[in-house]
Amino acid sequence: MKLLARALRLCEFGRQASSRRLVAGQGCVGPRRGCCAPIQVVGPRADVLPSGACITGRIMRPDDANVAGNVHGGTILKMIEEAGAIISTRHCNSQNGERCVAALARVERTDFLSPMCIGEVAHVSAEITYTSKHSVEVQVNVMSENILTGAKKLTNKATLWYVPLSLKNVDKVLEVPPVVYSRQEQEEEGRKRYEAQKLERMETKWRNGDIVQPVLNPEPNTVSYSQSSLIHLVGPSDCTLHGFVHGGVTMKLMDEVAGIVAARHCKTNIVTASVDAINFHDKIRKGCVITISGRMTFTSNKSMEIEVLVDADPVVDSSQKRYRAASAFFTYVSLSQEGRSLPVPQLVPETEDEKKRFEEGKGRYLQMKAKRQGHTEPQP
């Protein structure tokens, strides 16, 4: 109770400080809106890289965090997507022509570098780093600020891909206004990233028929014991101008389910460590019922990989069948009450499919471990 009371006082202090700053002409005010910093455009020209940056920020409240005071990974992912959607939509409408809204197509692997806590301010900055004919690459950074001490730290770096959809015809993908690169290497490197993510998106489609089935009386530490599902009716507040779900809303729900799976498996405080590439296979319309399912696929000594699948059921449209809308892998770690990492109970795969997914998860884990070690090795 003392911790919660302290967090509430800190949150209220931050909200008041934010409101005082905004009253000075920097943004909106109000008891619920005073935490939202204005969105700014930086740079003389939006069509020259580095592109005009989109900067947003707000204070973290108790309802943004878990019982230990750590901000949910889904909350941060939602803020990241909102910033990306703003800057990509703004860029795609920067020239005269058919108006559009940028829709999230993919999120590259995102690491949670440092936890964020109640009372801290999240500063989210986004800039366009590459454009192809029909897509926009956006780089987003998240900084946390302790408003009592002024200390700041980088908590997240993410890369997102958007496609512009016409406001007149949601199935029509428009062309993206080109950008001017300051160096030739920027365009070449961006093209390589574009081709790589395009290939990876194609490789994930084979999993679209895979579903999570419930099992009666499962044993502890098995896949069936911790697997979880969440059913959500898509309402107007979840959607864009098109009437389709915001990518950030979907990611937040995915993180919630992944967190439930992780907590059920280890029965401790858990936090999001990273998110592998999130692929959005199809749009989700307003009025759909979506089922977000999560299952444990792999455990190392101190981490858990959870696969999350999103299926959409257009209940108001009998002509369309249930379909796979999104999929991703989340990695969680178990923490003690003091915030130290704890060993994770080892997963016991039972079926042949579970054993296959375990080996695939182990391969991804070893690949990322080798990549991290390669980055940390001192240069000769």
Look at strands 54-59 and 228-233 and give their pairing: unpaired
**C-alpha angle 287-229-160 in degrees, rounded to nearest 5:** 70
Rg (CA), the chain: 21
Look at strands 40-41 and 54-59 and give their pairing: antiparallel
Q: Quick check: 377 and 310 in contact, CB under 8 A? A: no
CA gap 325, 307 in Å, rounded: 14
**C-alpha angle 224-228-232 in degrees, rounded to nearest 5:** 155
CA gap 330, 361 in Å, rounded: 11
In the numeric block, which tokens belong to residue 12? 């209220």
CA gap 111, 331 in Å, rounded: 9
Q: Which residues pair with 245 in a beta bridge?
A: 239
Cβ of 355: how many Cβ atoms within 10 Å?
Answer: 11
Of the residues 64, 238, 255, 311, only one is catalytic, namely 255
Q: Quick check: 248 and 103 in contact, CB under 8 A? A: no
The candidate with the shortest Cα–Cα distance to 34, out of 8, 62, 13, 53, is 13
Is residue 255 annotated as part of the catalytic site, yes or no?
yes
The candidate with the shortest Cα–Cα distance to 305, out of 273, 335, 352, 340, is 273
Which residues are known to be catalytic? Answer: 66, 255
